[in-house]
Amino acid sequence: MNSTNRPVSVFNIAVVVASLGYFVDIYDLLLFTIVRVPSLQSLGVPQQEIDTGVGLLLINVQMLGLLVGGIFWGIIGDKKGRLNVLFGSILIYSVANIANGFIHSTNEYLLWRFVAGLGLAGELGAGITLVSELLPKEKRGYGTMIVATVGVSGAVAANFIAKMVGDWRICYFIGGGLGLALLALRVGVMESHMFNSIKSSTSNRGSFLALFTRRDRFLKYLKCMLLGTPTWFVVGILMAFSNKFAVEMNVKGSISPGDAVAFCYTGLVLGDFSSGLISQLWQSRRKVMLLFLVLTSIFVFTYFQMHGAETWLFYTVCFALGFGVGFWAIFVTIAAESFGTNLRATVATTVPNFARGMLPLISLLFTGLQSSFTYLQSGAIVAAICIAVALITSWNIEETFGKDLNYVEEL
């Protein structure tokens, strides 16, 4: 029996290391959100600059790193192999994490957050691509479910460690150390047999521009990106500014955005596990996307009805919202399953990073609407737009469950 026909367990080494890699990825992303304020305070940055100037610039620089890295690692994944991305990306952001613990100026912080974003961009897409290609089609949903579920729990770990350790520099050292420790584990991972089969025969691999040269291919790519819009609206607007929304709705007690994000990501862990499991049971990605988008609609509506609510109830709704947008596993899996082997890593790596990159556009729309509407009305309008776009996209997207992935795109 050859290697391509040998049964592959859902709990094989590739799934384990992809899961742990995404865990460290999410740990770093959320850790930066948690320690951004105290770290800038310790560097002597005035509060006004933390809230607007330097603080906002840091977020945008990291986002730029994610966008550039998404394209870079996606092309590398299709040209040089999925394993090269898994090794290279985690090495870069682990070094960047450790360097973040040694900074003494905002310029150094800006540099290393860009490098961290560059490294973080490759982890999820390469991991999902490798797992999708190594596992048989009837099992790959379980594999990507495990990757996303374990990975998203890194956010919960970041919040716990930040509160337990207290020192933001040590928190960064822990993240970097976890990443470097994973490098040793990745030595035993094998490359995708689908990639190996086209490595010598297909020269037009990883052509990012090819995603824009044909209308049908571009529309399919755009649909994959739009599916993730509600997730980043919930995390980047409703959770990040939960304290402001709570004040507007006269929620009793003080709401902490950090705690709101932690409750949301706890719900995301359960949501990713549930969406992945239901997808396998229903044998459909599309139906599960529609189900979870309907749940998101219900929970977002509930969020805006929290007038005068108790603190515990508000946080409960934050948890529910996390569960509702817990279709990240399905979202990235659809992207990986929608394209041929010669473009798969490029798509699976760029799509989640471009979905993240929509947050600044969502934020601009949110702030722009506030000149004509109230804070709550602006949030509700943006919510309706983001969810409607994702619902229409889900209704029209191709069903990819059980699709044979062993093919190439004609460029």
DSSP string, 325-382: T--HHHHHHHHHHTS-TTTHHHHHHHHHHHHHHTHHHHHHHHHHHTTTS-HHHHHHHH
Q: What is the mean pLDDT of the chain?
A: 85
Q: Does 81 or 291 have the greater pLDDT score?
A: 291
Residue 203: band (very low, low, confident or very high) from pLDDT cuts 50, 70, 90: low
Predicted confidence at residue 114, as pLDDT, reads 92
> Cα–Cα distance between 388 and 9 in angstroms, integer?
38
Predicted confidence at residue 301, as pLDDT, reads 95
The CB-side HSE value for 238 (13 A sphere, CA atoms) comes to 35
Joined together, the tokens standing for residue 28 give: 């770093």
Per-residue buried b or exposed e for 308-337, using 16+ beta carbons within 10 Å of the residue's own CB: ebeeeebbbbbbbbbbbbbbbbbbbbbbbb
How many CB atoms within 10 Å of residue 187? 10
Predicted confidence at residue 4, as pLDDT, reads 44
- Helices (H), ranges, 101-167: 106-120, 123-134, 140-165
What does the pLDDT average to over 124-138?
A: 83
Report the predicted TM-score, pTM, of the whole model to 2 decimal places: 0.84
Q: Which residue type sits at 102?
A: F
Residue 188: band (very low, low, confident or very high) from pLDDT cuts 50, 70, 90: low
